[in-house]
Structures are given as structure tokens and as C-alpha cells.
Amino acid sequence: MKTEFWNGNMAAARAAQRARVQSIAAYPITPQTHTVEYLAKFVADGELHARLTKVESEHSALSACVGASSVGARTFTASCSQGIALMSEVLFFAAGLRLPIVMAVSNRTLSVPVNIWSDHQDTLVNRDTGWIQLYAASVQEVYDLVFTAFKIAENADVLLPVIVAYDGFILSHASEPIVPISQEEADAFMPPPGQGTWPILDPDNPQQFGEVLFPEWYPDFEYKKHQALVGSLGIAAQVWREFGAITGRTLTPIDTWFCEDAELLFVGIGSMMQTTRAAVLGLRARGAKVGLVNIRSFRPFPEQELRQALAGAERVVVLDRDIGYGTTGMVYPDVLRALYALPQRPIALNMIIGTGGKEITPQTIERCFELGLEASGERTVLWPDARGPEEGIPYDESIQLPPAPQPGGCALNGGAG
Amino acid sequence: MVMKPKQVTCTEHLNPGNLACAACTEVLGFRHALKVLGPNTIAINGTGCLAVVMQMGVPKVPHFHVLFENAPAVISGIDDALKAMGKRDEVNLLVVAGDGGTADIGLSALSGAIERNQDFIYICFDNESYMNTGGQRSGTTPFGARTSTTPVGRAVQGEDRLPELRKDLMAIIAAHNIPYAASTSIAYPLDFMERVRKASTVRGPSYIHCHSPCPTGWSIESSRTVEVARLAVETGAVVLYEIENGERRLTQKIKKKRKPIREYLAPQGRFRHLLDDPEAIEHLQQVVDRGFAATLASMS
Ligand SMILES: Cc1ncc(C[n+]2csc(CCOP(=O)(O)OP(=O)(O)O)c2C)c(N)n1
Ligand code: SF4
């Protein structure tokens, strides 16, 4: 296939098209909006034989996906931020019904303050809804993850919905060279849509869905859902190996980089791990023994793989582009759990960076590196890019607030909300 | 025109043994609707009494208890997915929900599904309260009614919002220019079944509002639920009519001299506190008279 030049939203839309989705329901929200618009255009141009249900809210978007999936259709949606917050009860509902819906999420923080830029708050607060959560670090990964997500979700031993998350603007709006999979290769790899590996609403075989389950049986059901999510890690790895055999690009639950001799290891999710690679190269050139682990599958959590990768490090710095208010970032506790079983545990720090889209540059990561070497480990949660904490950036008293806009001035409208 | 008794099938699509109170009219309505629609039906049930009492295999058709407010969105997805897969023609898509799920929490989803011209039948069983959670007021609770959130106290007695502000679901739905809508009552099953049959022939959305007294919530004897439903029509508190492509017509003859509203209120415990208050009864009579006159005047 010839190389294309696509942004993340286009990559997600094209991947869904390649997977021959049959039903799409979505509602616009920045920075996801283009995904829905692209899909609407594919349908209008006859390039994609699917129905687009143009719902009146995200709550209805995911509900319509539940309907479509419950009659056996291959189903796709996209959202972020306030949209996922509005979907919240339907997230649990879809996972409880074991419906293999795929949702692309161009991560964006939540109001207020109002902010349309990326952090991982929107998906991470929904980590316990029963969805698989995969995080892309590049536009190519957006494409590969969305495409393969259908095969993982529809596996009869999984039957769980999947979120493929990618940073808003940083990946959703930035174009990168992409190598798509051809339709012939896609069709050979992916079972045809609408074949139904899961129970469906069918008058020829009437069944009841969404029924009451009494306490005596509830734990059995929860256990099965949990086990399916845990077991999906191996199935995803298998699907990604098959995909790699065709494309030469094999995805893995985690990526390791310079872990062998590293004294300090960064751990994190999303596009900031690409920036961290660049920073690690720079630091290595100056003799620092540093490396990184990129977590691609956050749910299920690849505990053992991570433990192995982190075993030799003296210090671990978990980068969280999110905050679990009143405790730590939301990736950190899972990493701690992986470390706990090690005979010699490293000092594990948590650095909260890049919330609300604050730019993460190689310098940000270098600062995290310095702090990571200095820190005693007594204070574990640090905020290197915020104004306020001692490790943060100092207030510059000389900076004046801009004057208030005059009446009739231009507001932030037209494509920003 | 109503259905003739001999047109009604003896085949049942509900198994015996549901969990409802004796004389639950929601179950009765669902049973009658399925007699008309037959086994080739997928029933989507918004949370409410009906969804909960249908547990453990009562319906013989595919039955999906969804969330409280999202049944119209779920059925939209089903409608579109079946169309995408070339299987839409084979099946009736039915939503059943309560007045809470319809008038309050699910109104935007229903509005959206109608506006998109999704192909489905929506039946709202209006028992004028949230019964599944124990009988709280809803947007269709009538003036003066006692519910658990509009108790009878020293300062306020029952539902006290202005009677004119009670949600008129038929009017709200009609404002969408829906191809077919009908106001029905559980006390007129042959009329109800005929409206459901008509709804099933529509390509696009159709809406059936079914007045469904609840013995438990309204404090009426189980043996009198249907009688109370009939009294609602005979007093003019409920008017049965249909709207077909904008044409409005009455579907139940009304006697010149309607029964006084007191006869409808008296068997219901939820209005007991009003019965000794002639002023309140007169007020309610005026409310009914105004509503009745307005509905009649709107007929084509
Ligand atoms: C989002 C949400 N809020 C609240 C509830 C609790 N709840 C379940 S059913 C119900 C009331 C149902 O009333 P109605 O739709 O009138 O149906 P009925 O039970 O009277 O038939 C409520 C409040 C819920 N299930 N979901
Ligand atoms: S409370 Fe009313 S609506 Fe609910 S099951 Fe009992 S009779 Fe039916």
C-alpha cells in the first residue's frame, strides 16, 4: 500500500472503514469531530456501506451502538471528554452486555476550567467500566489499534468493548505518514462483519437481555467479566502478531526502550512517550543510564510484562497526564502493584505533567529526570510543570494578564468547543 | 374503527408468572400489543415496572431491558443496523416504557429518534408516576395527586404545580409531525389494539400513549383498575384520539353529558384528601373541562 499522510482522526476513520463497520453512531465534540465528519463523507460517497445514526447526544450515541451491536452489527463510535462523561452509565451497560463495540477517543480534559486540549483524564476515570483501553503513541498506532480492536473485541473469549485512546490535537490533528492495510489483506485478516460470535436479539431464537441478577449469582457474573478482560491480553497479543505478519508492524502490550542497563526508567501512556524517547536519546548521549516503558494496553494491565521490564531499575518515574484528585495519578498505582512483588523495589515516583494540554517537550522530560534522580522518595507525587509546588516552575511576577476584551471583539468560537 | 373481538388472536406472547402486582395494567397493555404485533417483534423496554416484572423468561419475543432513558436510542441503533445488514423488513421494533422514562428522563432521546424518522413503535404506559421506585411524581402527575414526593401535608396537599404545566405528551409528540400517534386507554383494549395495528403499518416512528392506572400507586382496589381507566375517559380527563399524517380524529365516542370528575377521583386513594373540599373538586372540574374543550377543538 502506498504511504498516506493522515491525521489521527482520519486514521481512526479509515481503520474503521477497512474493518467494514456496519453501524456508526457518534456526536461531535472537539477534537474528535473530524472522525464523524470523515465517516459521514465516506458513507455519502458510497465508499463505506454503513449506516450512520446521527444521534442527539453521546448518551444516545453509545446507546445506539449498543442497539446495533445487540443485533450483531460491527459497530463503531468516537468521542472524548464531556462526551464520554455523558456516556458514563452506558459504558458500564455496554461492557456488562459483553458487546464488542469499538470507540476511538481523542483524549481531552474535562471542564472546568474549560479546556479543549489533551490529557488522559477522560478515559482514565473510566478505567473500571469493563472496557479494554489501548493507548496510541503515534498516528500509525491509532490506525493499527483501531483496526485490530475489532478482531480482539469480537473474539468469542473476549466479547468486550474497546477504547482506543490517542491524544487530542497532538495525534488527532497532526498528520504523519501512514501505511494502511489493503482491503484484500484486511479481509483475509478480519472475519466478515455481522457474523455474530455473540448472542443477539433474534425473533427466531428469542432471548432476554439486560435482566436482573440477584446477589447470589452476581459475583459469578463479575468474575467472568473480569476474567474475560484479563484473558484478552493474550488474545490481543496474538491478534497483533498476526497483524504483524501481514504488515511488519507488531504491536505489544508494552514497549521497552533501553531498559537493560537503565538506572532510571520512565513509565507512561500516550504520545508523551514518543517525546520521552527523544529526551532519552538526548540524555543517553550525555551518558545518563535512562530508558522507558510505554504502556499500550492499560486495561487489561500487563502486570507481569511490566514487572519484568522494571526489575533492574533503581528508580522508576511514572508520568501521569492526569490526576486522581486527593491521591496520585491514575497510572501510578498499577505500576506500584507491578513493582510490589519484586525482591528489591526501586524508588517509585509519580510526576503529573501535561494536564489540560500543557506542552510536554524533551526539556520537560529532562526536568523529570533531574527530579527523579534527586528525589528522596519521601514525597512521591510531584508536579514539575505547575506553578505552585516547590519542584514546579516559579511564578514570574513581571507577567501581566492581557487586558479584558472589548465589546464586539472576537471570542473563541467557530470550531472550539 | 376498533378491532373486532374475533380478530384478536388467542395466542399469547407472554408466559404466565410475571412479578407484577395483581391487576397491573402495564402488563395487560404489553400483552395486548404483542397479540397484535406477533412473534416477529423485538421489544426494547426502558427501566420501569414493566421491565422488572418481565424477568426470567416471561416474554416469548426477544426482550431487552435497557437503561431508564435510552430505549429510543437503542432502537435507533437496531433500526439502522438491521437496515445496514439488509434485515430490517422482517421484524417489528417496539419500545415500551413508563411516563417517567418518556416524559422526563428520556424525552430528548425520544425526540431525537422521531426527528431522525427511525422506524419503530413507541408505547408509553402512563401511570402518572414513577412506580418502579415506589411512586414518586412525574411530569404527567395530575394536579392534586398524592405521590411519595408530593405528600399531603399541612402546607401543601399533593401535586401543586399549575395544571396547565403538566406535560401533554401527545402534544409534544405531535409537534414533531410524527406520521402516527394515538391516545389510548387500557379500558378500551379493542381500540388500543387497532391503534397498535395501525402503528405497525407506518414506515417511520409511531407513538401510542396508553393511560394505565396503577392500583398500587393510585390506591385503588385491584378489581377496579379498568373501571377507573374507563371513568377517566367517561369524565373527559382522558380523551382518546389519533393523529394520522396531521389529521386528528376522536377514536372513542363521547356522551354529550360527561360524568362529573368526582366519579373518577372518588375510587382513588391518591385524591382522597380532596374529596371533602368542594372548591378543589370544582377547580379540578374546570381543569378537565378546559383540557377536554381544547382537545376537542383541535380535531380536524
Ligand atoms: C438514570 C437513572 N435514574 C434513576 C433510575 C431509577 N429508576 C428506575 S425506574 C424509575 C421510575 C420509572 O418510572 P416510569 O418510567 O414512570 O415507569 P413505571 O415504573 O411507573 O412503569 C426510576 C426513577 C434509573 N434506573 N436510572
Ligand atoms: S406498581 Fe403499578 S405499574 Fe408497577 S407492577 Fe404494580 S401495578 Fe404495575
State the pLDDT at residue A300: 98
pLDDT band at A410 (very low <50, low <70, confident <90, very high): low
Q: Give the 3-state secondary structure of residue A44.
A: helix
Query: Would the pLDDT of A71 be above 60?
Result: yes
| CA B135/CA B48 separation, integer angstroms | 11
Write out chain B's pLDDT in tens, 300 residues.
789 999 999 999 999 999 999 999 999 999 999 999 999 999 999 999 999 999 889 999 999 999 999 999 999 999 999 999 999 987 999 999 999 999 999 999 999 999 999 999 999 999 999 999 999 999 999 999 999 999 999 999 999 999 889 999 999 999 999 999 999 999 999 999 999 999 999 999 999 999 999 999 999 999 999 999 999 999 999 999 999 999 999 999 888 899 999 999 999 999 999 999 999 999 999 999 999 999 999 999
Pocket test for ligand 2, best of B18, B19, B21 (most atoms within 8 A of CB): B21
Instruction: Indicate whether residue B48 lines ligand 1 (CB < 6 A).
Output: yes
State the pLDDT at residue B45: 98
| Domains contained in chain A, CATH given | 4-247 (3.40.50.970), 254-391 (3.40.50.920)
Q: A162-167 and A381-382: which strand pairing?
A: unpaired
Query: Would the pLDDT of A412 be above 80?
Result: no
The answer to which of A157-171, A277-291, A386-400 has the lowest mean pLDDT is A386-400
Does a cis peptide bond (omega within 30 degrees of 0) precede residue B61?
Answer: no
Query: Would the pLDDT of A395 be above 90?
Result: no
Q: Is the distance from CB of B107 to CB of B77 less than 8 angstroms? A: no
State the pLDDT at residue A409: 54
- Other C-beta atoms closer than 10 Å to the C-beta of A394 total 8
The answer to which of A105-119, A395-409, B30-44, B62-76 has the lowest mean pLDDT is A395-409
Contact A211 B65 (CB under 8 A): yes
Quote the ipTM score.
0.97
| CA A155/CA A145 separation, integer angstroms | 15
The ligand 1 atom at the shortest distance from the C-alpha of residue B99 is 16
Among chain A residues, CA nearest to B14: A206
State the pLDDT at residue A417: 56
Instruction: Please tell me the residue having the least CA distance from ligand 2 atom 7.
Output: B24
Q: Is the distance from CB of A24 to CB of A14 less than 8 angstroms? A: no
Query: Would the pLDDT of A2 be above 80?
Result: yes
Q: Is the distance from CB of B217 to CB of B142 less than 8 angstroms? A: no
- Please name the residue that has the C-alpha cell 543510564: A289
Of B55, B60, B84, the CB nearest to A211: B55
Query: Which distant-in-sequence residues (6+ apart) come within 8 Å of A202 by Cβ?
Result: A71, B62
Tally A–B CB contacts below 8 A: 144
The ligand 2 atom at the shortest distance from the C-alpha of residue B127 is 3
Contact list in B for residue A72 (CB cut-off 8 A) is 81, 85
The cell numbers describing A61, all together, are 450515541
pLDDT, tens only, B145-159? 999 999 999 999 999
A339 Cα distance to chain centroid: 23
Contact B78 A67 (CB under 8 A): yes
Closest by CA to B114, choosing from B169, B163, B152, is B169
Instruction: Indicate whether residue B33 lines ligand 2 (CB < 6 A).
Output: no
Closest by CA to B126, choosing from B45, B173, B185, is B185
Of A65, A89, A93, the CB nearest to B77: A65
DSSP state of A118: -
Contact A75 B81 (CB under 8 A): yes
Letter for the amino acid at B118?
Answer: Q
Domain-wise residue ranges, chain B: 10-147+159-297
Chain A interface disruption, residue of B70, B107, B111, most A CBs within 10 A:
B70
The cell numbers describing A406, all together, are 472589548
State the pLDDT at residue A398: 83
DSSP B161-181: S-GGGS--HHHHHHTTT-SEE
| CA A369/CA A351 separation, integer angstroms | 10
Calculate mean pLDDT across residues A246-273.
Answer: 97
Q: Is the distance from CB of A87 to CB of A61 less than 8 angstroms? A: yes
pLDDT band at A404 (very low <50, low <70, confident <90, very high): confident
Of A49, A64, A202, the CB nearest to B73: A64
Share of chain A above pLDDT 90, in %: 92
Contact A68 B80 (CB under 8 A): yes
State the pLDDT at residue B253: 84
| CA A16/CA B158 separation, integer angstroms | 54
B positions 46-85 inside 8 Å of A (CB): 51-52, 54-57, 59-67, 69-70, 72-85
Domain B10-147+159-297 classified CATH 3.40.50.970? yes
Query: Which distant-in-sequence residues (6+ apart) come within 8 Å of A312 by Cβ?
Result: A259, A260, A261, A262
Q: Give the 3-state secondary structure of residue A264.
A: strand
B positions 18-47 inside 8 Å of A (CB): 39-42, 44
| Ligand found nearest the CA of B139 | 1
Contact A71 B81 (CB under 8 A): yes
Q: Is the distance from CB of A366 to CB of A279 less than 8 angstroms? A: yes
Query: Would the pLDDT of A385 be above 90?
Result: yes
Contact B64 A23 (CB under 8 A): no
pLDDT band at A377 (very low <50, low <70, confident <90, very high): confident
pLDDT, tens only, A220-234? 999 999 999 999 999
pLDDT band at A408 (very low <50, low <70, confident <90, very high): low
| Ligand found nearest the CA of A210 | 1
Query: Would the pLDDT of A414 be above 60?
Result: no
Contact list in A for residue B111 (CB cut-off 8 A) is 56
State the pLDDT at residue A401: 76
Of A53, A56, A93, the CB nearest to B77: A53
Instruction: Indicate whether residue B216 lines ligand 2 (CB < 6 A).
Output: yes
Q: Give the 3-state secondary structure of residue B213.
A: coil
Specify the pTM: 0.96
